[in-house]
Chains A and B, each alone.
Chain A
Amino acid sequence: MKKVLILLFLITFAIVANGSDFNFDTVKERVSEFTLSNGLKFILLEDHSVPIASFVTYANVGGSDESIGIYGISHVLEHLAFKGTSEVGTKNIKKEKAILDKMDILFSRIRGEKNSLHPDKNKIKELEKKFEELRKEAQEYVVPNEFDSILKKNGGVGLNAGTGADSTVYFFSLPSNKVELWAYLESGRFADPVFREFYKEREVIKEERRVRVDNQPVGKMVEETLALAFKDHPYKTNTIGPMSNINNITRYDVKRYFREFYTAGNIVIGVTGDVYPEQLKKLAKKYFSKIPAGKRKPRNTTIEPPQLGEKRMTIYEDSQPWIITGYHCPSVLHEDFVKFSVLDYIMTNGRSSRLYKKLVTDNKSALFVGSMAGFPGNKYPSLYIIFSLPNMGHTTEELEKIIGEGINKLKTEKVTEEELKSAKVRMKVALIKEMTSNRGLLFSLLSSEILQGSWENAFTYIDQIEKVTAEDLKKLAEKYFTLSNRVVVKIEKKGEDKK
C-alpha cells in the first residue's frame, strides 16, 4: 500500500514539474538600452508598479586587474568613491585640494623613508607630525559624509558598494521622482571624484581586513586557497589585498588607477523601477556625458598555466575543522562552464543532492556541504570548489574520502536522468525567482553584459542549461577531476600541528 502511494505521488509530480512554462520574453520586453557618445552604456529595466528606482553602476574592474604592490587598490578606490566630489563634501575645494596635494608629497616622503634600506626613525616621526597637522587642516574643509547625507535626507536607501575579483558595483535606491538627484551624484563621483580623507579611510579598510580575514579562520582559509591554487594569475590574491599593500598604496596610485579603469567604456549603468527610457536618456546625456571617453579594458594577459600536480595545505586555527576541495575550471565564456553549474546542483543543491545526502543525511559526517563554480570570479579560468564542515567526532579525512569517491563516480557512471532533470527544474525555478527581483535581475543583466558581451545572455542561459546531457557531465568529470588539477585546503584545530 505504501509503495503504491509513493508511485502515485511521483506520477503527479512529473506532470506538475513539466507544466511550469514561463515566457522569459515578458521580462525581456521591459529591458532597453542606449549608449552615450562617450561610450557609456545604460541598461534600463522598467517596472512602474511602485514609484521607486534602483541604480547600479557596474565597473569592469576588480582584484584581477591589480598587480603586486597595489593589491587591494580596487577596493580602496571603492571606499573613496563615497567621499564626494569637488562640489559635494567640501567647504572650499581650491584650498582643500592644495592641502591634499601637499599631503601627498609628504606621504611619499614618509613612505620613502620607511621603506628605505635603513630608515631614520626620528625623521619619520618628524614628518608624521607635520603630516598629522596637515591632515587636521584638510579636515577643516571637509563636510563629512555629505554624499550619504544628501541621499539620506532625500529618502535614499541601500547605499553601498562591493568589490570582487572581476568587478566593482555601486548601488542605491531613491523615490522615483528623485532620479535626477541620482544622475547628479553618481555622475559627479565618477567624473569628478575627490579622494579626500584617504588616510583615515585606510585605517577603516584595515579594520575591514581584520574582521573579514585576520580574525576569521574561514577568511584566512579562503585567502590561502587562492594563494595556493594560482601562481601567476591575479586571482591569487584576496580582493581586499595584503595589509602591507593597503599600508603603502598612495592617493596618487588611486588617482592613476581610477583614470585607467573608470572610463565611460569600462562602466555600464543599470537602472530599474519607475523610470522611462526617454527620461533616462535625457538625464544621462545631461549629466553623464562628462565622464571621459574610453574603451572597455581588454583582458588581463596573464594566463594561469595548467597545474602540474596536486596542491595541499592545512592551516591550524582556533577553530573547528573545514575542508575545501577545488579543481581548476574554465571561465564563463567557455562552453564547459554551464555544465559545472548543472553539476553543482546535482552534487550539493537540495537535500536530495548527491553529496548533501551522503555526507549530511546518510553518514551524518558533515554539518554542511556546498559548492560553487567560478571561485573567486568567472571572467578568467578559476576554481570549482566543494566546501564542507565535518560534524563533531568526524574528520576532514573522512569527508575528503567521501567527496573523492563522489567525484570519481562521476567519471565512471553517468548521472541518472532523474538527477539531471531534477537539477534542471531547480535551476529553472531559481532563474524565474531571480526575475521576480528587479535588482537581482539587473545585477545579472549587467554582469552578462560585461562578462559575456550582452545582457541578453541572461535570458538564453536557460537554453544552455537545457542542452546539457548526462554524457556531457561524464566527459566534464573525466576532463577536469584529476588529481593534478586538484587543490585541497583544510583548517585543523590549533595544536594539531604539534602532534
Chain B
Amino acid sequence: MRKFTLVLLVFTVLVYGTGIFGKGRKLEKIKYPPLNEIQKPVVKSTQLNNGIKIKLIEDQKFPVVNFTAYLKGGDVYDPAGKTGLASVTAQLLRIGGAAGIKGAELDRMLDMSGISISFGSSFDYYTINVSALKPSFGKAMDILSKMLESPVFDKDKFEEIKSQFSSSISRSNDDPASIRNREFGKLIYGKGSPFAAQLEYEHLENITLNDVRKFYSMFFKPGNMMIGVTGPFKIEELEPTINKHFGQLKGNPVIPVYPVVKTPEHGFNVYFAEKADQTQSQIVVGHPGYKENIDEKAKILVFNSIFSQGFNSRLMQRLRVKMGLTYGVGGGINSEYLYPGDVSFTTFTKSESTITAVSAILDEIKRIRTEKVTEKELNEAKDYFLNSYVFKFSSPEKVLNDHIRKEFYNLDKAKYDDLVNKIKTVTADDVLKAAQKYLVPEKIVTLIVGTKKNVKEDLAKLGKVKDIDISIKPPPVKEIIPEATPASLKKGNDILFKALMMNYSGYRNIKTAVKDSTMNITLGPRSFNLEQSLTVVYPDKIYSETKVMGMTMKRVVNGKKGYMTQMGQRKELTEEEIEESGFAGLYDIFHSKGKYKFQYLRTEEIKGISYDVVYITGQKDKWVKFFINNRTGLIEIKEKIENIGGQKGLGRIYLSLFKKQKGISFPFKTEIFMKDKKVVDITMKKVVINSIIDKSLFKVDTK
C-alpha cells in the first residue's frame, strides 16, 4: 500500500507557566521526543459511468468493510405539511422489500450473514450505511442494489414506519433537553421554517406512498451518489464489485432549490416552556448563526475553544467549576455549510439557580466582547489545535469522512488543509473581533424549559418574558363511518337517485360539455388567479387549459392514458390520477351501475337548511360525501380529501348559484374550504352542452 508521508509536524510545545513554573516539579523537566511521522492514508477515487463516485481507503488490518453512500437531499426538502417525508422514504427503502422479496425476508437474510444496512435522512443529505465482513460484502452489495433499483413500496411497512413516527411524536415532550433544542430552532428560524420543522400527526396523514415514490425517484439516483469505503480492498478490486451491482442503475437526481432562511423578529428576550415536576431547568441562550466561511474558521475555532467548548472553556469554568451551577455547558458559534447555523450556548441547572445561570452566560458574552482574551488562554487553545492535529488521522474512517465532506460540499480543499497553519496566526485581537462580529447581544433570546413555580425568582429580571405552548397538536379527528347496512344503503340510493332525477337527469344523455371559469386559489400567504377552459367528451375524454401568470398548463385524459404539460414539460398521468378525474362524477354515477355504494349517514342541519348526507364509495379506499338539500334535491356541499398545491387534507366544497341547462343544474359558484379557510373560489362564466368538439385535442400518444 502506497502511503503519503506528511512532512512538518514536529510541534514544539511551549509550556506556559502556571505560577509554580520553575519550582522543580517533574512536569516541566520532561523532554518529549519528536512525533513519529504520520502515515496519512491515501484516498483513492474513481467514478462509474453512471456517475457514482467511489472513494476508498485501503485498510488490510481486519476483514471488515465499512461502506457509506452519501446522497444530496434530506429533511430540508420535506414539503410544507409533509415533514418527515425524507425520513419515511429512507426507512421504507430499507425495510419495504426489494426485487419482489418481502422486507421480512430481507431482514432475515441480512441478520443471517451478519450484514447491517441502514438508511438515514439527515438535514442536507441521505446516508446509506453498510457494514459487513469481507466475504459477505458482495452479498451486501447485491441486496443494497436491489433495494435501490427495485424497492417495494409496501403498504404494511409504510404503516410500520408511520406508527413509529406517530409514537415518537407522542413522546416528543418526555425529555426536557430535546424540547429545548426543538423549540429553540423554532424561535430562531421561525415556526414552519424547513430549518425548524417539527413532525406532526397531520403531516403523517398527508404523506402518501406516491410522495415516497416521488422522493425516491428524485433523489436516489446514481448521479447523486458518493460512496466511501474503508476495508481490505484495492481500488482495482472494489470498483468492479461496485460496478457489478450498481453499474446498471441510471439517472440523475432532481434536487429542488435549497430553501432560504428567514429569521423572525423577536419582541421578547426570554421564552419559557412549562414542563411539569422539573427540579432543573434546561437553558439555551443564542441567536441565528452564519454560514461557514473558511477564511473566518480559524478565529471561530479558537473562540469556541476559549469560550464554550471543553473543560477549560470560560463558560465551563464559570458555571461548573467556580459556581457549581451545572454538570455541563456547551455550544458555540456553529456554522453550517449550506445555511446559517446558530450561535447558542446550552446548560442546565437546578430550578432555583436558573436566573443566576442565564445571567452568568450573558455576563461572559459581554466580557468576551469587550476584553481581549489572555495570552495564556490564546496559546492554550492554539497549542491544543496544533498538538492534537495528529488525531485527524486516528482512523481511516475519520480521514475518509473528512475527504468526503470537502468534496460533498465542494469546499476549498487547499484552504481547509491550511487551517492548522491559519490557527497559528490567530491573535487575541482576532478573537475579540470575532466575538464582536458573531455574537449580537440585541438578537439574543433565552429559552428555558422547566417548572416555573420552582424557579422562584422573577424571570422578568432577564427581560420581556413570553410563555410558549409546547403541547402536542392532536391527530386530526377522523369521522367514524358506521358499518353500512342494507337499510342505510337502500336509503342512500333512494335519496341520491331522487336528487339525480330532480336536478341532474340531463347527465343520462349528455355527449359533450365545455365550461369556462375563473378561479382564485389561496395557499398560505400567496394567492393566484387562474382561468380555466374545460372540454369533456363523455365518457372518458377530458381536455383542460389553465392559464396562470402568463403560463398555460394543459391536462389531457383519453381513456386509460393521459398527460399534463407545464412550462413545456410533459408528464404522464398515473393510473390513479386518471381514475380520480371521473370518480363519483354524476355522469359516472348514472352510467356505471354497481360501481358505487351509496350509504345514508344522517340528516344534518347547516345554516338553517336540512341536508341528507350520503357517503359514496367506489373502488379502493376512495370516498366522497354528498350533502343533498332535502327540499330541493340539489347537491350543495361535497366533502372529500383534496390535494391543492401539495396541501392535502379534508376539503369541503360549497356549490351555489345553480342554473339549469339541458336537464342539469350547474353550480356557477364553487368554493373549497380546507381547515375552515377558503383556498379555492371558482366562478363559472359559461357552460355549453353537446357542441361539436375537435377530437384531436385528446391525442395522447406522442407518435
Contact = CB atoms under 8 A, between A and B. Distances in A.
Interface of A: 2, 5-6, 9-10, 12-14, 16-17, 19-20, 22, 48-52, 87-88, 90-91, 143-146, 148-150, 152-157, 159, 173, 175-178, 180-181, 184, 197, 199-208, 210-211, 214-217, 274, 317-320, 350-353, 357, 360-361, 364, 367, 389-392, 418, 421-422, 425-426, 428-430, 432-433, 435-436, 494
6 contacts: A197-B321, A319-B171, A320-B171, A392-B170, A422-B108, A425-B111
Contact of A391 (B163, B173, B177): B163
A389 to B, nearest CB: 7
A435 B389 CA distance: 25
A207 B350 contact: yes
B521 to A, nearest CB: 35
B311 A51 contact: no
B19 interface: yes
Nearest to A16: B136
B556 interface: no
Given A200-B324, A320-B174, A155 B383 contact: yes
A17 B37 contact: no
B448 to A, nearest CB: 13
Contact of B312 (A145, A214, A360): A145
B655 to A, nearest CB: 37
B384 A425 contact: no
Given A144-B321, A207-B348, A210-B350, A361 B30 contact: no
B111 A364 contact: no
B390 A436 contact: no
Contacts of A152: 310-312, 380, 383-384
Contacts of B166: 391-392
B160 A360 contact: yes
The 8 closest A-B CB pairs, nearest first, are: A155-B387, A203-B324, A429-B114, A155-B388, A351-B107, A51-B36, A200-B324, A19-B135
B334 interface: no
B112 interface: yes
B18 A351 contact: no
B97 to A, nearest CB: 11
B167 A91 contact: no
A360 B163 CA distance: 10
Given A320-B171, A360-B160, A367-B164, A20 B63 contact: yes
B140 to A, nearest CB: 9
A20 B25 CA distance: 53
A10 B108 CA distance: 10
B139 A51 contact: no
Contact of B113 (A318, A319, A425): A425
A436 B61 CA distance: 8
B171 A13 contact: no
Nearest to B100: A2
Interface of A is mostly: helix
B267 interface: no
B408 interface: no
Given A154-B383, A352-B111, A207 B167 contact: no
Contact of A149 (B101, B348, B380, B394): B380
B4 interface: no
Contacts of A432: 62-64, 133
A217 B394 contact: no
Given A2-B100, A52-B394, A154-B387, A211 B348 contact: yes
B30 A175 contact: no
Interface centre among A50, A216, A350, A418 (most CB of B within 10 A): A50
Given A51-B390, A52-B391, A184 B384 contact: no
Contacts of A210: 279-280, 348, 350
Contact of A211 (B133, B138, B317, B327): B327
A360 B325 CA distance: 41
B104 A357 contact: yes
Given A145-B317, A148-B311, A391-B164, A200 B109 contact: no
Contact of B26 (A5, A184, A430): A184
B114 A175 contact: no
A364 B226 CA distance: 34
Contacts of B26: 87, 184
B13 interface: yes
B395 to A, nearest CB: 8
A202 B61 CA distance: 45
Contact of B350 (A22, A206, A364, A391): A206
B176 A215 contact: yes
A319 B174 contact: yes
Interface stretch (B241-249, B270-278, B538-546, B614-622): B270-278
Contact of B35 (A51, A157, A202): A51
Contact of B39 (A16, A49, A145): A49
Contacts of A156: 388
Interface in B119-162: 131-136, 138-139, 159-160
B567 interface: no
Contacts of B525: none
Given A153-B387, A156-B388, A433-B131, 9 more contacts: A16-B138, A51-B35, A88-B27, A203-B324, A215-B176, A320-B174, A361-B104, A367-B167, A392-B169
Nearest to B105: A6
B235 interface: no
B501 interface: no
B104 A12 contact: no
B379 interface: yes
B32 A178 contact: yes
B504 to A, nearest CB: 42
A460 B13 CA distance: 44
B469 interface: no
Interface in B7-48: 11, 13, 15-16, 18-20, 25-27, 30, 32-39
A1 B134 CA distance: 30
Interface centre among A87, A155, A208 (most CB of B within 10 A): A155
B136 A389 contact: no
A159 B276 CA distance: 35
Nearest to A144: B321
A184 B30 contact: yes
A175 B388 contact: yes
A70 to B, nearest CB: 20
